[in-house]
Structure 1
């Protein structure tokens, strides 16, 4: 990812339930779900249901820590509505993680059928920075549609994100 792109992204976010914070701290960071499963780590309040975990496994998305560009994400909303998450925290992640080897980007929910990931270095033309980071008229239906899409973007990090890169833990 180009340095000028990093300058455009103040923070990335990872949503979780506050009940998971002790495990995250004990482990020393955020791990991909597949690594947690390998280590036999029990997550107290997983955000994903069985279907999403199966979809992640099928598409290889369990091998990544999933991040988003805003402190909102449609999957967080669904997890809260389903009762899997009751006390959400959006952890603030330093954008330098986008420079890690193997980081990928999706312009929609990563485990959704038909959504393909691309290397983060190729993502800049696809990211709607204007809608993410400037004041806009969200009452305008075209702008609202762009925002709805941008909130589904995911940055996929293929290894642990150490606690030093998490601002609010």
Structure 2
């Protein structure tokens, strides 16, 4: 991803339940779920259900912290509807994480069949910058569909995201 593209991104987001904030603080940040499981750390209110976690493990997506471009994501909605998340918060992540080694991008929900991850530096052409960061007419069906697709995109970080890069961790 080019430096000018990174400059377009005011922040990234990670959704979680507020009941997880204390653990995130104790651990010093956000870890990939596979690493938490390896360390036998139980997340109080995981966002993913067993099917989602199995798909993450099968596709290698459990080794990443999952981020999105907007403070909305269809998987957060599903997690709330299913009752896995009762009091959600979208943690604000500094875009400098895009420069971490091994960051990937998916043009859709990462554990969905057929969605392939690409290195973040190859993602510019796959990101609909206009619909993400420009005021548009959301009632237009075509624009609405573009926005829905953009909401599903994920940035995958293969390591700890430290607390100092989480803007609103103290507000939970």
Which TM-score bucket, shorter chain as reference? over 0.9
Cα displacement string for residues 73-117 of structure 1 (whole angstroms, at most 9, x for unaligned residues): 000000000000000000000001001000000000000011000
1:150 and 2:150 matched = yes
1:13-162 correspondence to structure 2 within 5 Å: 13-162=13-162
Q: Distance in 2 between matches of 1:96 and 1:124?
A: 16
Q: How many residues align?
A: 169
Q: Distance in 1 between matches of 2:32 and 2:43?
A: 12
Task: Mark the runs of 5 or more structure 2 residues left unpaired by the alignment.
Answer: none
Q: Distance in 2 between matches of 1:43 and 1:163?
A: 17
Q: Distance in 2 between matches of 1:115 and 1:152?
A: 11
- With structure 1 as the length reference, what TM-score do the two structures score? 0.99
How far did residue 2 of structure 1 move? 1.5
Task: Mark the runs of 5 or more structure 1 residues left unpaired by the alignment.
Answer: none
Corresponding residue of 1:6: 6
CA-based RMSD of the aligned residues comes to 0.4
Q: Distance in 1 between matches of 2:154 and 2:76?
A: 13
SS in structure 1 of the partner of residue 152 of structure 2: coil
Q: Distance in 2 between matches of 1:44 and 1:130?
A: 37
SS in structure 1 of the partner of residue 45 of structure 2: coil
SS in structure 2 of the partner of residue 90 of structure 1: strand
SS in structure 2 of the partner of residue 15 of structure 1: strand
